[in-house]
Chain A
Amino acid sequence: MRYLLTRLGFYLVALWGSLTINFLLPRLAPGDPASSLLSRMTGQMTPAQLNSIRLIYGVDTHASLLSEYGTYLGQLAHGNLGISTSYFPTPVSTVIASAIWWTVLLGGVSLVIGFAAGAGLGILVAWRRATLVDSLVTPSTVFLASVPYFWLATAAVFILGIKLNWLPVSHSYNIDLLPAFSWPFIGDVALHAVLPVATIVAVSVGNWLIVMRSTMISVLSEDYITMAIAKGLSPLRIALNYGARNALLPVTTTAGVAVGFIVSGALLTEVVFSYSGVGYLLFTAVEGLDYPLIQGLLLIITVGVLAANLLVDGIYVLLDPRVRRS
Chain B
Amino acid sequence: MRSSRLIAACVPLLTGVILLSSCSSGSSSGQAASSGGSSGSSAILNMSGEGEVTIYTRNFNPFSPSANLGTTTAIYEPLVVYTPTNGKYTPWLATSWSWNSGSTQLTFNLRHGVKWSDGKLFTAADVASTFQILKKYFGGGGFPYVKSVVATGPYVVTFTFSMPFSPALGQVGQQVIAPEHIWSKVPNPVKFTNPSPVGTGPFTQITSFAPQAYVLGRNPHYWQPGKPHFAGIRYPAYSPESENEAIVQGSVDWGDAYIPNVQKTYADKNPADNHYWFAKTGGTIPLVFNTTIAPLNNVTVRKAISLAINREANVESVYGSYTATGNSTGLSPTSNWFGSSVASSDDWTTQNVAKANAMLDAAGFKRGANGIRVSPSGKPLTFTLETGSTSSDYVQSSQNVAADVKKIGINLVVTPKAWNTVISDVELGHFQVAHMFEQLGTTPYTFYDFYMSCDNVVKVGKTALQNWGRFCDPTATKLLAKFAAANTQPAQQSIANQLQAEFAKVAPVVPLFTQPDWGEFNTARFTGFPSASDPYATGQTRYPGAVLVLTTIRPKS
B450 touches A175 (CB 8 A): no
A49 to B66, CA, bound (A): 13
Judged by a CB distance under 8 angstroms, whether B142 is at the interface is: yes
Judged by a CB distance under 8 angstroms, whether B494 is at the interface is: no
A35 to B437, CA, bound (A): 13
A39 touches B388 (CB 8 A): yes
Given A172-B212, A178-B30, verify A276-B4 contact (CB < 8 Å). Answer: no
A90-124 interface (Cβ within 8 A of B): 90, 94-95, 98-99
Chain A contacts of B65 at CB under 8 A?
Answer: 37, 41, 45, 49, 53, 88
A42 to B258, CA, bound (A): 14
Judged by a CB distance under 8 angstroms, whether A168 is at the interface is: yes
A181 to chain B, nearest CB (A): 8
Judged by a CB distance under 8 angstroms, whether A227 is at the interface is: no
Given A192-B4, A274-B54, verify A177-B30 contact (CB < 8 Å). Answer: yes
A60 to B357, CA, bound (A): 47
Chain A contacts of B520 at CB under 8 A?
Answer: none
Judged by a CB distance under 8 angstroms, whether B3 is at the interface is: yes
One of B27, B239, B282 near A184 (C-beta < 8 A): B27
A90 to B211, CA, bound (A): 13
A184 touches B24 (CB 8 A): yes
Judged by a CB distance under 8 angstroms, whether A280 is at the interface is: yes
Given A52-B139, A276-B54, verify A175-B4 contact (CB < 8 Å). Answer: no
Q: Mark A172-183, 1 if CB is under 8 A from B, else 0.
A: 111111111111
B141 touches A49 (CB 8 A): yes
Chain B contacts of A88 at CB under 8 A?
Answer: 59, 61, 64-66
Query: By CB atoms of chain B within 10 A, which of A42, A86, A192 has the most?
Result: A42
A30-49 interface (Cβ within 8 A of B): 30-32, 35-49
Chain A contacts of B31 at CB under 8 A?
Answer: 177-178, 180
B212 to chain A, nearest CB (A): 5
Q: Mark B46-87, 1 if CB is under 8 A from A, else 0.
A: 000000111101110100111000000000000000000000
B514-529 interface (Cβ within 8 A of A): 515
Judged by a CB distance under 8 angstroms, whether A153 is at the interface is: no
Chain A contacts of B264 at CB under 8 A?
Answer: none
Judged by a CB distance under 8 angstroms, whether B313 is at the interface is: no
Given A40-B52, A88-B64, A184-B30, verify A47-B242 contact (CB < 8 Å). Answer: no
A152 to chain B, nearest CB (A): 18
Chain B contacts of A50 at CB under 8 A?
Answer: 142, 465
Given A171-B212, A174-B3, A274-B239, verify A43-B440 contact (CB < 8 Å). Answer: yes
B453-481 interface (Cβ within 8 A of A): 456, 463, 465-466
Interface residues on B, range: 35 or more
Residue in chain A with minimal CB distance to B283: A43
Given A37-B65, A46-B171, A168-B4, verify A276-B143 contact (CB < 8 Å). Answer: no
A95 to B425, CA, bound (A): 31
A278 to chain B, nearest CB (A): 9
B78 to chain A, nearest CB (A): 14
Judged by a CB distance under 8 angstroms, whether B493 is at the interface is: no
Judged by a CB distance under 8 angstroms, whether B370 is at the interface is: no
One of B1, B388, B515 near A274 (C-beta < 8 A): B1
Judged by a CB distance under 8 angstroms, whether A146 is at the interface is: no
One of B30, B58, B139 near A56 (C-beta < 8 A): B139
Judged by a CB distance under 8 angstroms, whether A262 is at the interface is: no
One of B57, B144, B237 near A175 (C-beta < 8 A): B237
A29 to B12, CA, bound (A): 47
Chain A contacts of B141 at CB under 8 A?
Answer: 49, 52
Of B150-158, B189-197, B221-229, the one with at least 4 CB within 8 A of chain A: B189-197
Chain B contacts of A39 at CB under 8 A?
Answer: 388, 419-420, 422-423, 437
A39 to chain B, nearest CB (A): 3
Chain B contacts of A40 at CB under 8 A?
Answer: 52
Judged by a CB distance under 8 angstroms, whether B489 is at the interface is: no
Judged by a CB distance under 8 angstroms, whether A61 is at the interface is: yes
Judged by a CB distance under 8 angstroms, whether B267 is at the interface is: no
Chain A contacts of B192 at CB under 8 A?
Answer: 89
Judged by a CB distance under 8 angstroms, whether B446 is at the interface is: yes
Chain A contacts of B421 at CB under 8 A?
Answer: 29-31
Given A176-B7, A184-B29, A276-B211, verify A94-B57 contact (CB < 8 Å). Answer: yes
A170 to B427, CA, bound (A): 37
Q: Mark B1-38, 1 if CB is under 8 A from A, else 0.
A: 11111110000000110011000100111111100000
A12-33 interface (Cβ within 8 A of B): 29-32
B423 touches A87 (CB 8 A): no
Chain B contacts of A95 at CB under 8 A?
Answer: 55, 57
A89 touches B242 (CB 8 A): no
B420 touches A289 (CB 8 A): yes
B138 touches A56 (CB 8 A): yes
Given A94-B57, A178-B32, A188-B30, verify A46-B282 contact (CB < 8 Å). Answer: no
A56 to B142, CA, bound (A): 12
Residue in chain A with minimal CB distance to B167: A46
Residue in chain B with minimal CB distance to A97: B57
Q: Mark B517-545, 1 if CB is under 8 A from A, else 0.
A: 00000000000000000000000001100
A169 to B8, CA, bound (A): 14
A89 touches B59 (CB 8 A): yes
One of A52, A89, A90, A174 near B4 (C-beta < 8 A): A174
A176 to chain B, nearest CB (A): 6
A177 touches B32 (CB 8 A): yes
Given A56-B138, A175-B237, A176-B7, verify A32-B420 contact (CB < 8 Å). Answer: yes
B27 touches A175 (CB 8 A): no
Residue in chain B with minimal CB distance to A54: B139
A180 to B27, CA, bound (A): 12
Q: Mark A54-97, 1 if CB is under 8 A from B, else 0.
A: 01100001000000000000000000000101111110001100
A267-292 interface (Cβ within 8 A of B): 274-276, 280-281, 284, 288-289
A43 touches B241 (CB 8 A): no
B438 touches A276 (CB 8 A): no
A31 to B390, CA, bound (A): 15
A43 touches B282 (CB 8 A): yes
B1 touches A171 (CB 8 A): yes
Judged by a CB distance under 8 angstroms, whether A140 is at the interface is: no
A276 to B236, CA, bound (A): 12
Chain B contacts of A56 at CB under 8 A?
Answer: 137-139, 190
A284 touches B54 (CB 8 A): yes
A177 to chain B, nearest CB (A): 5
A50 to B425, CA, bound (A): 16
16 interchain pairs (CB within 8 A)? Answer: A43-B440, A52-B140, A53-B65, A56-B137, A61-B463, A89-B64, A168-B1, A168-B3, A175-B212, A175-B237, A176-B32, A178-B208, A178-B210, A184-B27, A274-B54, A284-B53
Chain A interface (Cβ within 8 Å of chain B)? 29-32, 35-53, 55-56, 61, 83, 85-90, 94-95, 98-99, 161, 165, 168-185, 188, 191-192, 274-276, 280-281, 284, 288-289
Q: Which 7 A-B pairs have the closest CB atoms?
A: A31-B420, A49-B142, A182-B29, A39-B419, A184-B30, A42-B437, A43-B438
- Extra contacts besides A52-B140, A182-B28, A275-B54 (18): CB < 8 Å: A31-B419, A35-B419, A42-B515, A44-B440, A46-B142, A49-B65, A56-B138, A85-B66, A89-B61, A89-B193, A99-B55, A168-B3, A175-B212, A175-B236, A184-B6, A184-B30, A274-B241, A284-B53
